């Protein structure tokens, strides 16, 4: 079984699925001859040709609008937005048309497509290449939002997303595109959408995270272990639909909760998780729910390491909770 990184897992999933299903079409900026800015689509143009791997103009609205038309007429498009930060010109197409078409047609039209986009900081990209705006799409009924954290889950979840009947926003944590590696089977396998994964078992504190922050949480958990604190880490993998049962299970087990994400704290998806815990499991809590998140500022270039959640910031939250 080969050991590959996350961006290779994306490429492998797309390649294998395109071989299986000729309806799948990839489109986006530089995805064809150049293989994408992160090389996620490298080699696909050569294998499948210009009719299935399409280099588009620099028009996010045009990319998504074209993909919607393709989907309505029976194709299975996988458009790439080069950076999640660039998606806003296509926001109206996504929330007004894509997310609502199946509902407003009474199920007569299935408008399924997968919007892939790298998101988050960690590559010194500055405030136009580092944003984490997943909460916008979580707020939009009709969309599924998937964020893998490992190569295995990336391939399995991307295959599940391509085969799903609903539109999916598939966000890839570019910080760990090449730094995280693991064994990933060649050939077909899927990871179910809507199921979280217990990445580390523990008894004292629960950390709930997703994307690149999973690995920061795991590092913090190991640091806490050396200090005598047993930390459990839950990888959400999918934000919408959320695996609320897995969230409640870890909350009831430890009674102490820290939620970690890169997005700004105010209105971030961590707020929704905290609200659900308060509604459904407040009697199990031994202390306040703590969010370790990005700050409510534009993403800074020179202060990136201070903006993003870190092991010291998570350790501070652990120490605070253990004092209750």
CA angle 155, 156, 161 (to 5 degrees): 95
Q: What pLDDT sits at residue 181?
A: 97
Q: What pLDDT sits at residue 200?
A: 98
Identify which of 149, 234, 159 has the alpha carbon closest to the alpha carbon of residue 192: 159
Structure tokens at 305: 């390491």
pLDDT digit string (tens) for 7-49? 999 999 999 999 999 999 999 999 999 999 999 999 999 999 9
CA 157 to chain centre: 10
Strands 168-173 and 114-119: parallel
Evaluate if residue 268 carries a pLDDT over 90: yes
CB 152 within 8 A of CB 1: no
Strands 205-209 and 257-264: parallel
CB 132 within 8 A of CB 266: no
For the whole model, what pTM was predicted?
0.96
| pLDDT range class, residue 108, cuts 50, 70, 90 | confident
Evaluate if residue 116 carries a pLDDT over 90: yes
Buried b (16+ CB within 10 A) or exposed e, 163-178: eeebbbbbbbbbbbbe
Q: What pLDDT sits at residue 107?
A: 84
Mean pLDDT of all residues in 263-281: 98
Measure the CA–CA gap between 269 and 122, rounded to whole angstroms: 20
Measure the CA–CA gap between 92 and 237, rounded to whole angstroms: 26
Q: What pLDDT sits at residue 2?
A: 92
What domains are defined for the chain?
A: 3-183 (3.40.50.970), 197-322 (3.40.50.920)
| pLDDT range class, residue 72, cuts 50, 70, 90 | very high
Backbone angles phi, psi at 110, to 5 degrees: -100, 120
Evaluate if residue 82 carries a pLDDT over 90: yes
Q: What pLDDT sits at residue 124?
A: 87
Catalytic residues: 129
Structure tokens at 157: 């979840």
Evaluate if residue 50 carries a pLDDT over 90: yes
Cis amide prior to 242 (ω within 30 degrees): no
Measure the CA–CA gap between 235 and 197, rounded to whole angstroms: 5
pLDDT digit string (tens) for 187-202? 999 999 999 999 999 9
Q: What pLDDT sits at residue 209?
A: 98
């Amino acid at each position: 079984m080969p050991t590959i990184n996350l961006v290779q897992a994306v490429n492998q999933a797309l390649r294998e699925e395109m071989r299986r299903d000729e309806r799948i079409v990839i489109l986006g900026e530089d995805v064809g001859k150049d293989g994408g800015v992160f090389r996620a689509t490298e080699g696909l143009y050569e294998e499948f040709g210009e009719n299935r791997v399409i280099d588009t103009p620099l028009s996010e609205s045009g990319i998504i609008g074209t993909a919607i038309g393709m989907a309505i007429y029976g194709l299975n498009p996988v458009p790439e937005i080069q950076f999640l930060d660039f998606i806003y010109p296509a926001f109206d197409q996504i929330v007004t048309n894509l997310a609502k078409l199946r509902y407003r047609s009474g199920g007569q039209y299935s408008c399924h497509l997968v919007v892939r986009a790298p998101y988050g900081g960690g590559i010194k990209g500055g405030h136009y290449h580092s944003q984490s705006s997943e909460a916008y799409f979580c707020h939009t009924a009709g969309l599924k939002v998937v964020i893998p954290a490992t190569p295995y889950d990336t391939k399995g979840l991307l295959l599940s997303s391509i085969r799903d009947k609903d539109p999916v926003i598939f966000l890839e944590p570019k910080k760990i595109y090449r730094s995280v590696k693991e064994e990933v089977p060649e050939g077909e396998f899927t990871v179910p959408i809507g199921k979280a994964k217990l990445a580390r078992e523990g008894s004292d504190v629960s950390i709930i995270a997703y994307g690149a922050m999973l690995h920061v949480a795991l590092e913090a958990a190991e640091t806490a272990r050396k200090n005598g604190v047993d930390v459990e880490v839950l990888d959400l993998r999918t934000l919408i639909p959320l695996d609320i049962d897995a969230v409640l299970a870890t909350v009831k087990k430890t009674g102490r909760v820290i939620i970690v994400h890169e997005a700004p704290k105010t209105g971030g998806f961590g707020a929704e998780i905290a609200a659900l815990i308060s509604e459904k499991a407040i009697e199990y809590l031994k202390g306040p729910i703590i969010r370790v998140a990005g700050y409510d500022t534009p993403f800074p270039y020179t202060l990136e390491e201070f903006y993003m959640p870190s092991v010291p910031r998570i350790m501070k939250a652990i120490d605070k909770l253990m004092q209750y």
